[in-house]
Amino acid sequence: MTTAPLPSSHEVAAFWRDAGPSRWFAKDEAFDAEFKSRFESAHHAAASGMLDAWAKEADGALALLVLLDQFPRNAWRGSAHMFATDGKARAVARAAIAAGLDQQVESTLRPFFYLPFMHSESLADQERSVELNAALDANTQRFAVLHRDIVARFGRFPHRNPMLGRETTPEEQAFLDQGGFAG
């Protein structure tokens, strides 16, 4: 049995660029299936550290962040696996930002360096997200503040509770029933 070669960081970044804003956050089963079929092996390689060398340059760091933070959210919607590589994504993001790599990509892609903080249930990470996203467009900043405010209020994202086997408090349920953010 032969294994297909892993894509390069440039292939992952190009796929993400070509997908564009209209597909990045939409719930689209066809897009999710294509994304998963093309890059699942690269996601697992990134998760295991096999692609850590990509983090030395801007496009490589972007590709790692897409594979570690965005890919699981598309490939495994509604399951705990969506969050399995969040910690590694935050580590890659911290190092990339410290090296100034986020400033080396076009502004439309810069949020992907900051999303690992927005996806975190740590209030300190949420504050970092708000700080980083302040330099971007108003809509991105609005989402950063929304995420931060939810974590500040509940200490977590209530919509994740069923996926993570957590009890939902009455206050969280009221928030969700009133149309609270669902990710």
Q: Give 2-27 pLDDT, tens digit per residue.
A: 467 899 999 999 999 999 999 998 88
Cα angle 76, 55, 4 (rounded to 5 degrees) comes to: 55
Q: Is the pLDDT of residue 104 over 60?
A: yes
CA dist 76 → 18, 67, 96, 118 (Å):
22, 12, 26, 19
Residue 137 phi, psi dihedral angles, 5° rounding? -70, 160
Give the whole-angstrom CA distance, residue 92 versus residue 96: 6
- For residue 35, how many C-alpha atoms fall within 13 Å in the half-sphere facing its CB? 31
What's the pLDDT at 1? 46
pLDDT tier for residue 156 given thresholds of 50, 70 and 90: very high
Can you read off the two tokens belonging to residue 83? 């969050």
Q: Is the pLDDT of residue 59 over 80?
A: yes
CA dist 79 → 56, 73, 85, 120 (Å):
31, 9, 13, 16
pTM of the model: 0.94
What's the pLDDT at 181? 79
Give the whole-angstrom CA distance, residue 21 versus residue 32: 14
138-154 helix and 170-177 helix, angle to the nearest 10 degrees? 150
What's the pLDDT at 40? 95
What's the pLDDT at 5? 86
Question: What mean pLDDT is reported for the chain?
Answer: 95
Mean pLDDT to the nearest integer, 137-164: 96
Give the whole-angstrom CA distance, residue 71 versus residue 88: 13
What's the pLDDT at 50? 97
CA dist 131 → 30, 62, 103, 169 (Å):
34, 19, 15, 29
Q: Is 167 helix (H, G, I), strand (E, B) or coil?
A: coil
Mean pLDDT to the nearest integer, 125-142: 96
